[in-house]
Amino acid sequence: MNFGGSVLSPDWPDVESLRLAAESVRELVRRKHEVLVVVGGGGPARRYIEAGRELGGAEALLHELGIGITRLNARLLAMALGELSEPRPPTTFREAVQMMLRGKVPVMGGTVPGHTTDAVAAMAAKATRSSLLVYVTDVDGVYTADPKLDPTARKLERIGVEELVKMVGSRVSPGMRTILDPVAVKVLQQLRIRTVVIGKGEIPRIPLIAEGEKHSGTEILMG
């Protein structure tokens, strides 16, 4: 599961959203689901990246700035989870799997330059052979265009992964804002598991969505 930085830390850490996310994860665990969480960087990450770019930082270093902020956000969600998680976010999928084997919920941030947390979530789902991948964003699904900029944008109840590949393009840059990044979508092409994109208003319903109930977001069809 991926909680976008725009959800948990749009301009500054959103304590209420962090609490809601933690409660949703707790309920999934109560229902006997295994859970791995990835957290994005949000507004603070973009600000650090912008500052680094103005100072002449190399692209790889700008990625590392963003990764650092995602891991701070991951620590906050881990705090909200208390004994269900561990304070230090795993930095590799092997560490995350080992944490799950200890009965804990891994909360990851970024991993390596060039991979956004969208991609990390897809790769984590692959590494753990997950049956469901949920992306929680500040937009309630996949639209034909950015609904914040284009009032004619239409939300898609379903979209094929091949069509999504064409929609998102191919370039990844530090701090980029798309519904899903190109690397993540390429991984989804290979992964072929149930994937949904939902808005933050659906956070309390994630346990029900995980068990097949309807949602107001977008299903990504794997063909």
**Cβ pair 24, 206 in contact under 8 A:** yes
Q: Look at 90 and 166; give whichever has higher pLDDT.
A: 90
The CATH number of 2-221, from 2.40.170.20, 3.40.190.150, 2.70.40.10, 3.40.1160.10, is: 3.40.1160.10
| Integer Cα distance of 38 and 42 in angstroms | 13
Q: Is the pLDDT of residue 129 over 80?
A: yes
Percent of the chain topping pLDDT 70: 95
Q: Identify each DSSP E strand in the chain by its residue range.
A: 2-3, 37-39, 107-108, 132-137, 142-143, 155-156, 158-160, 194-199, 218-221
Per DSSP bridges, beta strands 218-221 and 194-199 are: antiparallel
Residues 60/113, Cβ–Cβ less than 8 Å = yes
The strand pair at 142-143 and 132-137 is best described as unpaired
The mean pLDDT value of the chain amounts to 91
Return the number of other C-beta atoms located less than 10 Å from residue 50's C-beta.
Answer: 14
Lowest mean pLDDT among 4-18, 144-158, 167-181, 205-219: 167-181
The mean per-residue pLDDT over the stretch 73-84 comes to: 98
Q: Give the model's pLDDT for residue 175.
A: 43
pLDDT at 178 over 80: no
Domain boundaries, the chain: 2-221
* pLDDT at residue 134 tops 60: yes
Confidence check: pLDDT of 170 > 60: no
